[in-house]
Amino acid sequence: MKASFLWGGAVAAHQVEGGWRDGGKGINVSDIMTVGSHASPRKITPVIDENEFYPNHEAIDFYHRYKEDIALFKEMGFKCFRTSISWARIFPQGDEEQPNEAGLRFYDDLFDELLKNDIQPVITLSHFEMPYGLVTKYGGWRNRQLITFFERFARVCFERYKDKVKYWMTFNEINNQANYQSDISVLTNSGILFQEGEDKEEIVYQASLYELIASAKAVKIAHDINPDFMVGCMMAMTPIYPYSCSPDDMLKAVGANHKRFWYLDVHARGKIPAYMQSFFKRKGYHLDITEEDIATLKDGCVDYIGFSYYMSFTTKGDGNEYLDYNEATDLCDNPYISKTKWGWPIDAKGLRYTLNWLYDRYQLPTFIVENGFGAIDVLEDSNQVHDQYRINYLKEHIEQMKKAIEIDGVDVLGYTVWGCIDCVSFSTGEMKKRYGFIYVDKNNDGSGTLKRYKKDSFEWYKQVIASQGDKL
């Protein structure tokens, strides 16, 4: 492993910060999502309802406690820490001409504290959030004007933090919205609330194209401001395996992967792949994309591939000659792997497969910016948390990552464990789906002291970093 390898942890602003109205912050889309569970989805309430509980409003109060948390990251030996900038702290409604100074100052202080502790900030511009004003006034990313607002936001951040942040990402898991049956994925990726009877698929593809154009513009602006910046994309990299080696299953998996990974093809190669052009034509979609946009995409290719890896999926052929794929109906169980309590398949070797797949395809450095194990942890009376299951999961994944680096020769910039400190689950809004090395005393209903406790995995990860991944 290279000495410069970026070991660390990852979170997102809305899942940890809280302080939802502090420092002039506006309401963002995660602020209108209630708590849910594996069995009952989070609700989206267009206006804040006093009778509902919104877990992101306080989250784990990182906004006020980040110094204490960074001291713990330092103790573990983090080389980097991935978080995001809450767009609504900088532009509370999203369409202002001038940024909110108090919001900018918060991130100045946060990044200074990280740097003081020799921890590099790794920053996502939009991690599942945007000002809610852009939803109510413009309809979110279905509207081309969003490109201008995002450009302004990106430029302000790049200018302001040009000497503090080197590694950036534009949109978190931009491909999640391809699963447009999930209202929360579409709201958080694109700020879209569907109206009755709309063609969801066409709207999501249009929004995705606007986001890809905005991302390319941001990459260009970033490089003009500081040529040393490394700007990446961020994909939910869930490879989709064929159920068997039957040619039908193999082909179906090709089609399924296309629908998830075309985003990456645009980010990394700067053009819309032929298979998607042919799909748009067949569907008869009238997508708004100009010659100028096509040139923009070409000009704004990313410097590295950031991705999350939690699991792999599996699909079976169904005779559809277009290889169409619907994530809600076309997945099947993989008999070779088990699942977490939340139904997420566990497949460590899939990480090695993924790293090879990405590096073969793009020959760009890769960055594992999320990997982790969500579980129900128990804080014992002695204030200890024995999370050997988490250690096992991470150990197996790090082993596979090392094989990809040392045997297969994949270029990997770093590895950040998701939810290095317990935070609000994105999909369910729960606190009890915990990923951290640090336990936060906070419950699903919002009760708890917010005190932090080290889990067994804390000491374990410390030794992993100190030994450059040798002591697992």
Contact residues for ligand BG6, defined by CB under 6 A: 12, 15, 128, 172-173, 236, 308, 370, 374, 418, 425-427, 433
Q: Which residues lie closer than 8 Å to 423 by C-beta, 6 or more apart?
A: 11, 12, 15, 16, 59, 60, 435, 436, 440
- Taking each helix axis from N to C end, the angle separating 274-283 and 247-269, rounded to the nearest 10 degrees, works out to 100
Residue 101 and residue 448: Cα distance in Å, rounded?
A: 32
CB of 340 to ligand BG6, least distance (A): 9
Looking at the Cβ atoms of 10 and 412, the one nearer to ligand BG6 is: 10
Q: How far is the CB of 203 from ligand BG6 (least distance, A)?
A: 22
Q: Kindly state the smallest distance separating residue 159's Cβ from ligand BG6, in Å.
A: 26
- Please report how close the Cβ of residue 214 comes to ligand BG6 at its closest, in angstroms: 19
* Residue 173 is a catalytic residue: yes
The residue (of 296 and 457) whose beta carbon lies closer to ligand BG6 is: 457
Asked whether the CA dihedral 254, 255, 256, 260 is positive or negative, the reply is positive
Q: Nearest to residue 384, comparing CAs of 314, 305, 454, 301?
A: 454
Q: Which is nearer to ligand BG6, 173 or 303 (CB)?
A: 173
Residues 14 and 35: their CA atoms lie apart, in Å, by 14
Q: Which of 173, 211, 327, 430 is catalytic?
A: 173
Start-end of H helices in 336-443: 349-362, 388-406
User: What pairs with residue 306 in β-bridges?
Assistant: 234, 367
Q: Is 96 a catalytic residue?
A: no
The beta strand positions in 250-375, using DSSP E, are: 304-308, 313-315, 338-339, 345-346, 366-370
**CA–CA distance, 341 with 389 (Å, rounded to integer):** 12
- Toward ligand BG6, which CB reaches closer, 12 or 219? 12
* Minimum distance of ligand BG6 from residue 324's CB (angstroms): 24
Q: Which amino acid, 349? A: K
* Radius of gyration of the chain measured on its C-alpha atoms: 21
Of 17, 129, 327, 370, which residue is the catalytic one?
A: 370
Minimum Å gap between C-beta 234 and ligand BG6 is 8
Distance CA 4, CA 260 (A): 31
Which one, of 237, 186, 182, lies nearest residue 208 by Cα? 186
Nearer Cβ to ligand BG6, position 293 or 422?
422
Rounded Cα gap, residues 262 and 208, in angstroms: 10
Q: How far is the CB of 390 from ligand BG6 (least distance, A)?
A: 13
- Is 167 or 279 the residue whose CB approaches ligand BG6 more closely? 167
> Residue with the closest Cβ to ligand BG6?
427
- 126/257 with CB nearer ligand BG6: 126
Token pair, residue 333, equals: 């169980």
Query: How far is it, in rounded angstroms, from Cα 59 to Cα 446?
Result: 8
Would you list the DSSP string of 39-53? Answer: SSPPPB-SS--TTS-
Residues identified as active-site: 173, 370
